[in-house]
Amino acid sequence: MATPRLLYSTVLARSFHSCRSKVSQKWNCMHRIKYSTAVAVAPPLDSYASLSAGNKIRGYTILKVVPVSELNLVSVLLSHDETNAKHLHIARNDKNNAFGVSFRTTPMDDTGVPHILEHIALCGSTKYPVRDPFFKMINRSLSTFMNAMTASDWTLYPFSSQNKKDFTNLMSVYLDAAFNPLLQERDFRQEGWRLEHKDHNDPSSPIIYKGVVFNEMKGVFSSQHAIFQEAVQNNLLPSHTYGVCSGGLPLAIPDLTWQALREFHSNHYHPSNSRFITYGDQPLEDHLDIIENSVLKHYNKLEQDTSVPLQPRWAEPRRVKVSCRHNEMLPDSSKQTTVAVSYLLTDVTDVYESSVLSLISSLLVNSETAPFYHSLIESNLGSGFAPVCGYENSTRDTWFSVGLEGIAEDSVEQVLNIIDETFKKVANEGFPQERVDALLSQIELSTKHQTSNFGLSLMMSLNTMWNHDADPTVGLQVNEIISRFKKEMAANPQYLQEYVKKYFIENTHKLTVEMSPDEHYEEKQQELEAAKLKSMVDRLTAADREEIFTQGKVLAKAQMEEEDLSCLPTILKTDLDTVGVKTRVDTTTLDGVEVQLCEQPTNEVVYFNLLTDMADLPSHLKPFVPLFCSVATKMGAGGLDYKQQSQRIARYTGGLSLSHHISSSPSDLDMVLQAIHLQSFCLKENITPMFELWADIFNNIRLEDVGRLSMLLKMSVADLVNSVSHSGHQYAMRHSASNLSEANRLKEVLSGVTQISFLKTLSENDNQDRIASYLKDIAQHVLNKNSLKCSINAESSAIDQVSSQLHSFLGSLSGAAECPPTHTQLSSTENLKPKSKTHFSMDFSVNYAGMSVPTVEYLHEDFAPLRAMASLLRNKFLHREIREKGGAYGGGATGDAAGQMSFYSYRDPNSLKTVETMCSSADWISSSNFTQQDVDEAILTIFQKIDSPVAPGARGQGLFLSGVTDDMKQLHRDRLLSVDVQQIKSVSERYLKEPTVQGISLIGPENEEITADSEWTISGREPCCQLPSLS
C-alpha cells in the first residue's frame, strides 16, 4: 500500500513523509515493501507456532496467523472481545520496535477538525496533564521516530524505538494522549486558530487570526501542487469525506469551534473505531497487556458508523477548472497551466485487483520506456508530469491520474487528445514483455532491499486498506500476489490490455482538472481572508473584545510558565550506552583503486558506492555538476540509447544515481572533500550487468542529444522550484550559511536557491550546445580512474564475486589510478562577507527563515557542547517562541553540521520577529536558569540520531564519505556524555554572543520593512557567488 498523498503531521523536524516525486512510485503493498529492516535473519516462528485462529489471548480472539517467509515475519491479526478494537502484530527479529494506533476519521467539512484534533490530543492528557507532553517527550526519549499524522480518512499516532524502557514509556504517553486527552480550549486556540490582538499586550493593536494549523495550511496551499492535488481528490470523490480538505482550508478553519472538535473526538477516538499495530521483537502478550490495562478495560463496544461508502459512479465524465498563484521562479511565465485526467478505479479492499492496477499504472507512467513518458514528456509541451500522476490508493476508491504541468493554456486540448490516444494505443498493443519482467524484478529486489525503519513503513503501507476493513495480512503476502499475477498473464495474453480497456477506455467516472495561474490570486486570497476576519471582528461586542484580550494574555502567560514535568516518564543519560556500535571494514586495492569492503547481512543484495574527485574541476564547471549528476544516467551510454539504458537499469538494479558530495575534514574545516558520489544496488546475481551499466557511463556517456538535455533541464527546474514551498527552511539555512566558509558557499551554489536561479537561467538560454559541451567537459574530468575510491557492502559469501566483478569494471576505465579523493584546501573565489541579510521575495503566504553562525570542526572539543546547545535551544526556547507563541509550524536550531550552527523557522507568519528571536538565543542562554537535567535531555535528542538504526547497505558509509572513524565517533560520544551547564554557557559566549560572521536569509512574501532597510539584499539580486556565463 502507499503513504497517502494528502498527509499532515504534527511536527516538522521528524516528519516521516517528504515531497513526493512527480511520477508516483506506488506499486501497491507489494512494492512498498521495498522498505525492509536492518536485520535479515530467520523469522521468529517458534514462539508463534502454537497460535492459531480462534485462540483466546489476553482478552482478544486471534483471527489469523500468517507467516510471510519472503519478509521474514509472522503476522497475527486479533480482535478485542469487549470493544472490537483490532490489533495487527508483526513479529520480526528487529529491535527497532514500532507502535501505532489509528482511527478512521471522516470529516464532512473543510475546517480541518481531524488535523487540529491530532495536534491538540498531544497537548496534555489525564495521566500526563502538562502542556504539550508530545514535544517534551521528544527530548526524554531515544525514539527512532515520533509523530502523528492526518490523512484524508484516518489519523495515526506512530512511534518507534530500539530501547524497551523507552518503548513502554512512549506507549503509555501515546495511549493516554489518544484516548484521554484534556482537549483544553487554550490548546485549541494555540494549535488550531484564534482571534487575538497582533500585539497581545496592546488592546489597541488590530485583531488578527493566529494558530499553528491555520498558518501551516496557509503554507501548504502556497504550493501550486497542493492546490491541484486537493482539487483533483475533492472533485473526483465528491460524495463523502474526500470531497473536503481533512487538513483544513485556511478560510474555513475559523469556522471550527472547540465544542465541535470535542464532539469529533468522542465520535471517532474510541477503541471500537481503532486499529493498533505493533512490530518488532518484543512479545505480543506484553503489548496486549499494556493496551488492555491502560485503555480497553475502561470501554465497551460503541456502535458508531464511521465507514466510508464507495463513491457512486458517474454516467458522464466531468471537467473542473481551478486557479492558482503565478510562480515567478518558473522560467516561462506563459507556460504555467497544469492539466490532468483522473479515473476512479477499484475498491482498495480488493488487494489483488488494486495490485494489478498499481502494476499497470507503473507500466503506464514510470520510467523513460513508459508510453505516457513517450507521448507526454517527449512532446515537449510541458515541464513534466502533473503533480498528481500515477496510482493513488490512499482512499476507499483507488484512482489513477496522468497529465502535464508547465504547459501553455492553449495546449490543454492537445494534451487531452494525447492522453486518449495513448490509452487506445496501449489497449491495442499492450506492454512489451521485457517491461513487465523488469517491473517484477524490481518488486523481487524491493522485498530484499533493507532500510532502517521497516516497521514504520509497513504501518504506513497497510493502514489505508486496513482502515476500510480489508485484511492487512493479505497485503503482506507479496509472493502470492505475484504468483497469481504471473498465472493470469500466462493464461491470457490480453490480460493487461483488458484492464486498460475496462478501467480507462470504457470508464465514465473520469475527471479532467485544469489549473491556470491568476496574477491576482494571492491578492484575492488576502481579500477573502480580510473580509472573513472583518465580518467576525465586526460582530464582536465590547465584552467579546475584552475576552479576546484577556485570553491572549492568559495564553501568553501559560506559554511562559515553568511546569512540573515529573509525571512524564523519561530515559536517563545513565540509560545510554557509553560505547557506540562499531562497524568492521576492510580496505583493499583493486587495479590501483582503494576499495572499502564491509561484510553485512544484506539479504542477497549488493550495495555499491563510488566517489570520484572533482576538486580539480575548473570553477566555471562546478555549477553544472548537479545538472550533470541529474542527466548522467538518463541520456544513454555505450550501445544503449536512453530508453534501452532505462530498461536495463530497471531490470537489473534498484537504480543508478549520482550526486555531488561536499564535506569538511573532521579535523580541519578548511580541508574539503569535493566529489561526485555514485550509488547503486542489485541482487548478487545481477552484479555483472550492474557494473556493465556503470562501465558504459564511464567509458561512453552520450551527451550529444541537446533536445533530450533541454527537456531534462526543464524538468529539473520545475522540480526544484516546486520544492521551495515544501523545504523553504532548508533553502534559507543553506543560503544563510553560504557566507561562513568556502565549503558552504559551494554547497549553496550546488544545492541552494543559487542553483535554482542558475538552472532557470540555463533553461532560458538558447545555446544548449554550449551546455552540452560543459557537461562533456565534466565527464572527461570525473568519469575516469584517476581519482576514485569505492565501497562494497555485501554478505561474506558474495564478497569475492563482487570484488572480481569490480576489478573488471575498474580495469575497463580510462586513466591511471593516482590517489583517492581526499580533503584538500578549497581555494577562495570571492571575499566572504562577514555579515549578510538576504530576503527572497516570493509569492507565498508564510515565511521560511534561516540564520547561521560559524562554529568548529567535528573533532574540536567545543563541537559536542555546541551541538548540545542547539538541541537545548530548540527544546527549551525556540519551540516556545517560534511555534507556540509565534504560530509557525516549526522552528529550532541545529548544530549537527560541523562548522556551523543554523536556526530555522517553517511556515512562519512572522519574519523579522522570528529573526530577532534567533538573535536573542545567546541572551536566553546567559539569563536562563536551565539545569543539568535540561542539558541531559538535549543530549538525549542527539543520541536519537547518532544511535539510530543503520541498514546493512549503509554501514561504514560515514567513514567512506567523510572520513569519520569509529574512534572519532566514540570521542564525540564521550564528550557529549560529559557536557554540562557551564560548557553550554561558555560556548554560547564564544560563538553566539555578538558573532563577527553571521548570515540571515528569509524566504517569503514581500516585506515593506525589509525593503526599506538598506542592510538587506532583496530577492537575491546580489547572488552569493559569480556564476558562469554561456555567452
- pLDDT tens-place string over residues 683-695: 999 999 999 999 9
- Cell numbers describing residue 874: 530548540
Q: Which three cell numbers stand for residue 337?
A: 497551466
Segment among 2-11, 490-499, 618-627 with least mean pLDDT:
2-11
CB 105 within 8 A of CB 150: yes
**pLDDT at residue 905, rounded to an integer:** 97
3: pLDDT strictly greater than 60: no
Mean pLDDT, residues 3-32: 38
370 Cβ neighbours under 8 A, 6+ residues apart? 363, 364, 435
Listing DSSP states for 160-177 in one string gives EES-HHHHHHHHHHHHHH
Q: What is the mean pLDDT of residues 244-260?
A: 98
- For residue 83, give the 3-state DSSP assignment: coil
Model confidence at 1025: pLDDT above 80: no
The reported pLDDT for the residue numbered 827 is 72
The mean pLDDT of 739-749, rounded to a whole number, is 94
Tally of helices (H runs) and strands (E runs) in the chain: 35, 31
pLDDT value at 105 more than 50: yes
Overall average pLDDT of the 11-30 stretch: 32
Strand residues in 296-392 grouped as ranges (E): 318-325, 337-347, 384-385, 390-392
pLDDT of residue 834: 87
Cβ neighbours of residue 611 closer than 8 Å, sequence gap 6 or more:
661, 673, 675, 676, 677, 678, 788, 789, 790, 820, 821, 960, 961
Give the span between the Cα atoms of 849 and 881, in whole angstroms.
Answer: 14
Task: Calculate the CA 39 to chain-centre distance.
Answer: 23
With 60 as the cut, is the pLDDT of residue 1001 above it? yes
pLDDT recorded at residue 539: 97
**What pLDDT is stored for residue 49 in this prediction?**
85
Q: Would you say 101 and 157 are in contact if contact means Cβ atoms under 8 Å apart?
A: yes
Q: For residue 80, what pLDDT is reported? A: 98
pLDDT band per the 50, 70, 90 thresholds, residue 24? very low
**Coil, strand or helix at 286:** helix
Give SS3 for 65: strand
Using an 8 Å Cβ cutoff, are 78 and 60 in contact? yes
What is the per-residue pLDDT for 770?
Answer: 94
First to last CA, the chain: 50
What local confidence, expressed as pLDDT, does residue 1031 receive?
A: 58
Mean of pLDDT values over 198-205: 95
pLDDT digits (tens, 9 = 90+) for 438-456: 999 999 999 999 888 999 9
DSSP-assigned letter for residue 701: B
Q: Is the pLDDT of residue 194 over 50?
A: yes
**Average pLDDT rounded to a whole number, residues 68-84:** 95
Question: Quick check: 1019 pLDDT over 80?
Answer: no
In this prediction, residue 826 has a pLDDT band, given cuts at 50, 70 and 90, of confident
* pLDDT for 32 beyond 90: no
45-54, 547-556, 583-592, 975-984: which has the minimum mean pLDDT? 45-54
User: SS3 sequence, 203-223?
Assistant: CCCCEEEECHHHHHHHHHCCC
Q: Within 10 A of 202 (CB to CB), how many other CB atoms are there?
A: 11
| Total residues belonging to the chain | 1031
Predicted confidence at residue 18, as pLDDT, reads 27
Q: What is the pLDDT of residues 488-501, one digit of tens each?
A: 999 999 999 999 99
Q: Return the pLDDT at 1020.
A: 52
Rounded CA gap, 393 and 399, in Å? 7
Percent of residues, the chain, with pLDDT higher than 70: 94
- Cα angle, residue 394 at apex, residues 431 and 157 outer, rounded to 5°: 140
Residues of the chain with pLDDT > 90: what percent?
Answer: 90
Residue 30 reports pLDDT greater than 60: no
pLDDT band for position 8 (50/70/90)? low
With a cut of 80, say whether residue 769 has pLDDT above it.
yes
What's the whole-number mean pLDDT along residues 974-998? 96
| pLDDT of amino acid 843 | 87
| Across 134-146, average pLDDT | 95
Phi first, then psi: give them for residue 634, nearest 5 degrees.
Answer: -125, 10
pLDDT the model gives residue 9: 63
Are 870 and 918 within 8 A, CB to CB? Answer: no
User: For residue 1018, what is its C-alpha cell?
Assistant: 532583496
Q: How far apart are CA 119 and CA 324, in angstroms?
A: 28
Could you tell me which of 836, 3, 762 has the C-alpha nearest to residue 395?
Answer: 3
Please state, in angstroms and rounded to a whole number, the distance separating the CA atoms of residues 400 and 502. 13
Q: What is the mean pLDDT of residues 151-163?
A: 97
Q: What is the mean pLDDT of the chain?
A: 93
Q: What are 421's three cell numbers?
A: 490516444
Query: 425 burial class (0-12, 13-18, 19+ CB within 10 angstroms)?
Result: middle
Query: Could you write out the three-class secondary structure of 990-1025?
Result: HHHCCCCCEEEEEEECCCHHHHCCCCCEECCCCCCC
Query: What are the φ/ψ torsions at residue 889 (nearest 5 degrees)?
Result: -70, -35
- 26 confidence band (pLDDT: 50, 70, 90): very low
972 against 23, higher pLDDT: 972
Catalytic residue (one of 118, 185, 191, 884): 118
- For residue 596, CA distances in Å to 200, 479, 591, 684, 841 come to 60, 35, 14, 18, 46
Question: Does the pLDDT at position 894 exceed 90?
Answer: yes
pLDDT exceeds cutoff 50 at 29: no
Q: Which long-range contacts (CB under 8 A, 24 or more apart) does 761-766 make?
A: 761/1027, 762/627, 762/713, 762/1030, 763/331, 763/710, 763/713, 763/714, 763/717, 764/331, 764/332, 765/1030
Residue written as grid cell 499504472: 361
Active site residue 82: no
Q: Mean pLDDT throughout 603-610?
A: 96
